[in-house]
Structure 1
Amino acid sequence: MVHEQSARHFQKSKQYLASGVSSTLRLSMKPMPVFAAGGSGATVTDMDGNRYIDYLLAYGPLILGHAHPGLTAAVCEAAAKGATYGLQHQGEMELAQRLTEALPCADKVALSGSGTEAVMLALRLARAYTGKTKIIRFEGHYHGWADTIFTSFPSPDMQQSASGLQGRNTAGASSAAAGSSAKPGTSGQSAAALADIIVLPWNDVAALEETLRRHHGEIAAVISEPVMCNSGCIAPHPGYLQRMRELTAELGVVMILDEVITGFRLGLGGAHGRFGLLPDLVTVGKALGGGFAVSAVGGKDAIMELIADGTVNHLGTLNGNGVATAAGIATIRELAEGEGAAFVRMERLTERLVRGIRERLAACGMQGVVNQLGPVFHMMFTAESVVESFAAFGNRDAERYARFAELMLEEGVMLRPTGLWYVSAAHEEADIEATLQAMDRALARLAPTIGGVR
């Protein structure tokens, strides 16, 4: 494919926009950052006229695909009335009601603009509620890029973070609680901002229980993704999240599930609804707005009341604005139609796609793993037979996959260079078949060995 216009616009953009893009992640796309001209349904078209089947989906938000008619109409109607007021309005109240009805753990919600903001608020609520300061988080999880939670993250999307990769925390609970075990995720980030963060291995019940029992008097919260989406789409071991819930409840520690990725992607009730869990707080974003900037924290009355009584300040000029709330309402309405038929369809298509990928890897003798849950999965080239831990995920051949993603782009399929795929409600059987055919061509062109993996 020709990328002349993307190349030209990228060079021009760099004259005015730092790095030429608006997110560090976008620099990882090869052969260069693609400049979009438009999108429709499951496809996006670049400025050279190249059309791609899109599994990047704007890094997750486009659960309904590009330019969904119902969502677009709702947003245009809201914008015509006034995009934002700095006042309360009907849409804000309606979205809040829909969220409390959909999310099993949410008695009340607070609206914000991004997943990072939602996590910041959840952590602040947990500290205020418990009167404690330390936070347990897990290696390989991503909770936004705020200084107080962003730790080094081994991803081809974030080269600087990868260069500061933290080692597996095997020093034991006591050394973790004695001081921060977290390393900054980027240059310019204050290490002091992470002084209250304890990093533990995920899916390790013994490490979690030892740390909580020994230091629960200092620990305000445990924050976890319900599924380790960014790092291998690794599912929780049977009973792991349930034990986390039991321990935090017993020891007076707030349990936060970060569902910015999984919320409204694994079902209307998110992963905690799917798994039958009731965390104290949940954060949602990405798919909630269908492509528009909106997020929320939901939780128990007793915790959320800290916002109402002024104990915790909740700020944000554009929180609950008319366009964002209209997008959230429209997205939930579309996903709820037919008793959630969209989720059944997305999962069926994803299973068909994953099955086809596995068959092709086996047929060409390439070692790889595909981990899937619902309409999201992670594809890896690896000699590991299974990838069920962050350590195993670290053994993947990231360079080889990035090259595969570049070849797939040439074949008309847009992928994130890390291996994380999203399927939307707009994808169809024809898209899956075309993707698998493109994969046949890409795998045939992929070098037989990179980094010793076949």
Structure 2
Amino acid sequence: MRTYELSKNGYDRSKRYLAGGVASSLRAAMKPVPLFAESAQGAVVRDVDGNAYIDYLLGYGPLILGHAYGPVNEKVYAAMQRGITYGLQHQGEIELAKLLTEVLPCADKVALSGSGTEAVMLALRLARAYTGRSKIIRFHGHYHGWSDSIYTSFPSADMPSASASATASGAVPPGTAGQSELSLRDVVLLPWNDQAALEAALAEHEGEIAAVISEPVMCNSGCIVPRPGYLEFMREATAKRGIVLILDEVITGFRLGLGGAHGRFGIKPDLVTVGKAMGGGFAVSGVAGRAELMALIDDGTVSHLGTLNGNCVATAAALATIGELAKDDGAAYDKMEKNASKLTAGLRTLLGKHGIRGVINEIGPVFHFIFTEQTVVEDFASFNLRDSAKYALFAERMLEAGVLVRPNGLWYVSAAHEDADIDATLEAADRVLGGLR
């Protein structure tokens, strides 16, 4: 029986000094207690109580090569010896920007930032400046960071929201208390994967829409892929109306291939946001896109600010991570997808073995595990019929069995996971699912 006494003590101490006891609100949802890590290597993380876990949380997505990956750390350490950040330009910025224009199909130029939230803020600003319009279409269940202008209610087992439905006035519900009442007035919130709904909204708001922003895969809410023709329609309809199409690839970028989801699907957005996996665990993000839009930064029309943008550590980490992912014709992707497929196939078999109803939606090395009576989950409405409490209990018991998973059901597989990790995970899941039955 595992004990978590030192993590519990750490959490109690943390709450005296750190608001909420955690540095990001998501982490407070972990049961039986938010873990305090001691160290990590490869696909394994160890807590302060000496417990080891096979890790599918992966820092909420960035650790695509696993923990403490030597070749990346070496490049970062070498960069640090020359200076961590200058507030001046340096060669690493040029090299990373050039590389991104080479691997991202939509990229003529890029701008570098520190987080996915910042990248989305810049993309929206570019779209509004370019079109001279103000309204933004976004979709239920998509997450685009937590800035006031785009953060809407987001029901999730580990992401509390201010409200799960529209306000009494019919306005878009905010994601948290403290958002300005006016912050979301220009947001039009629609169901995703619904071509008719998008077409109707574009017609209703003709001449008012600056941008449509969408995850190319609805990763946070069911790992739902677009229906055939949906992204193609989105691209065609926005281009026809002079609307900027933004694909938010903070999760899918560099996880579904070097070209991200838009490269995988053959869709060319006007702007794309990238982050998470791009830095292999270091804080870096970017906006890439058409030269005409990026020119608004060139000429000063749109300000792009940030003290640590393009710093030496971030650029070194991103260059090293992308370089490792590109090795041997993308062998890391082949390995990740093979292991993810083995894991999801095994989990589906175990659901059948134990007579538990569930759905696992998978694309590449990321998948969502859902307990539900539905036979398919392909939109946000059906995703919301899941038994989130049952999954949270599953996650807690998997932790006791030595496997770390996110309480909302989203799993990431890294290049560090080996066959033995997959086998051990399935053995743990077999025991846990047997107990849930």
TM-score relative to the length of structure 2: 0.98
**1:290 — aligned with what?**
280
What is the CA–CA distance in structure 2 between the aligned matches of 1:182 and 1:109, rounded to whole Å? 31
Deviations 1:332-385 (A, max 9, x none): 000000111111110010000000000000110000000000000000000000
Residue 391 of structure 1 corresponds to 381
1:212-261 alpha-carbon deviations (Å, 9 max, x no partner)? 12323010000000000000000000010000000000011000000000
SS, match of residue 182 in structure 2: helix
Provide the rounded CA distance (Å) in 1 between the counterparts of 2:113 and 2:8: 35
Alignment partner, residue 380 of structure 1: 370
2:245 equivalent in structure 1: 255
Partner secondary structure for residue 258 of structure 1: strand
Residue 246 of structure 1 aligns to which amino acid in structure 2? Answer: E
For residue 87 of structure 2, what is the aligned residue in structure 1? Answer: 86
CA distance in 2, matches of 1:16, 1:228: 36
CA apart distance, 1:181: 4.1
Give SS of 1:154's match.
Answer: coil
For residues 112-171 of structure 1, the C-alpha deviation after alignment (integer angstroms, 9 at most, x for no partner) is: 000000000000000000000000000000000000000000101122x0x51026x9xx
* Equivalent residue for 1:401, pick from 391, 394, 416: 391
Corresponding residue for residue 292 of structure 2 = 302
Query: Residue 212 of structure 1 corresponds to which residue in structure 2?
Result: 202
TM-aligned CA deviation for residue 330 of structure 1? 0.3
1:164 match:
163
Q: SS at the partner of 1:416?
A: coil
Aligned pairs for 1:233-248 (under 5 A) are: 233-248=223-238
Shift of 1:80: 1.1
C-alpha deviation, 1:432, in angstroms: 0.2
Question: Do structure 1's residue 155 and structure 2's residue 145 form an aligned pair?
Answer: no
Q: Distance between the aligned counterparts of 1:186 and 1:407, measured in 2?
A: 30
Query: 1:394 and 1:420 mapped to 2: Cα distance?
Result: 14
Structure 1 counterpart SS, 2:136: strand
1:411 equivalent in alignment to 2:404: no
Partner of 1:142: 143
Query: What is the identity, as a one-letter code, of the residue corresponding to 2:247?
Result: L
Would you say the 8 A contact 1:181–1:199 is kept in 2?
Answer: no
Residue 441 of structure 1 deviates from its aligned partner by 1.1
2:189 corresponds in structure 1 to 199
What CA distance in whole angstroms lies between the structure 2 residues aligned with 1:361 and 1:181?
Answer: 40
| Runs of 5+ consecutive residues of structure 2 not aligned to the other structure | none
1:106 corresponding residue in structure 2:
107
Q: Give how far 1:189 is off.
A: 1.1
Amino acid at match of 1:165: A
RMSD (Å), alpha carbons? 1.1
- 1:268 aligns with 258
Q: Distance in 1 between matches of 2:344 and 2:172?
A: 34
Where do 1:332-411 residues align within 5 Å? 332-411=322-401
Provide the rounded CA distance (Å) in 2 between the counterparts of 1:87 and 1:313: 17
Aligned equivalents of 1:271 and 1:337: distance in 2?
19
4+ long deviations beyond 6 Å: none
Structure 1 CA distance for aligned equivalents of residues 416 and 146 of structure 2: 30
CA distance in 2, matches of 1:89, 1:277: 32
Q: Provide the secondary structure at the position in 2 that maps to 1:145.
A: coil
- Percentage of identical aligned residues: 65
Q: 1:172 maps to what in 2?
A: none
- Displacement, 1:180? 7.3
Counterpart amino acid of residue 380 in structure 2: F
Q: Which amino acid aligns with 2:108?
A: D
> In structure 1, what residue type is equivalent to 2:385?
N
Q: Output aligned runs, 1:17-56, within 5 Å.
A: 17-56=18-57
**CA-to-partner distance for each residue in 1:169-228, whole Å, 9 max, x for gaps?**
9xxxxxxxxx97421000111121000000011011111112112323010000000000
For structure 1, which runs of at least 5 residues remain unmatched after alignment? 170-178, 449-454
Q: Deviations over 1:400-422 (max 9, x none)?
A: 00000000000000000000000
- Residue 174 of structure 1 aligns with which residue? none
Higher mean C-alpha displacement, 105-114 vs 437-446: 437-446
Distance 1:429 1:63 in 2: 16
Verify the 8 A CA contact 1:213 1:251 in the aligned structure 2.
Answer: no
Q: Deviations over 1:314-347 (max 9, x none)?
A: 0000000000000000000000001111111100
Measure the CA separation in 1 of the matches of 2:204 and 2:192: 18
How many residues were matched structurally?
A: 435
Change (3 A) 1:81 1:180: farther
SS in 2 for 1:418: coil
**Which TM-score applies when normalising by structure 1?**
0.95
Q: 2: CA distance between counterparts of 1:243 and 1:352?
A: 33
SS in structure 2 opposite 1:194? coil
Mapped to 1, the partners of 2:348 and 2:84 lie a distance apart of 46
- Distance in structure 1 (CA, Å) of the matches to 2:184 and 2:200: 21
In structure 2, the partner of 1:190 is 180
State the alpha-carbon separation in 1 of the partners of residues 117 and 200 from structure 2: 29
> 1:24 is matched by which residue type in structure 2?
S
Write the distance in 2 (CA, Å) between the matches of 1:356 and 1:158.
28
Which residue is equivalent to 1:173?
A: none
Alpha-carbon contact 1:180-1:198 (below 8 Å) kept? no
What is the CA–CA distance in structure 1 between the aligned matches of 2:53 and 2:239, rounded to whole Å? 47
- Kindly indicate whether the alpha-carbon contact (under 8 Å) linking 1:7 and 1:32 is maintained by their aligned counterparts in 2: yes
Question: Which stretch shows the higher mean deviation, 333-342 or 212-221?
Answer: 212-221
8 Å Cα contact 1:227-1:234 kept in structure 2: yes
- 2:118 matched residue in structure 1: 117
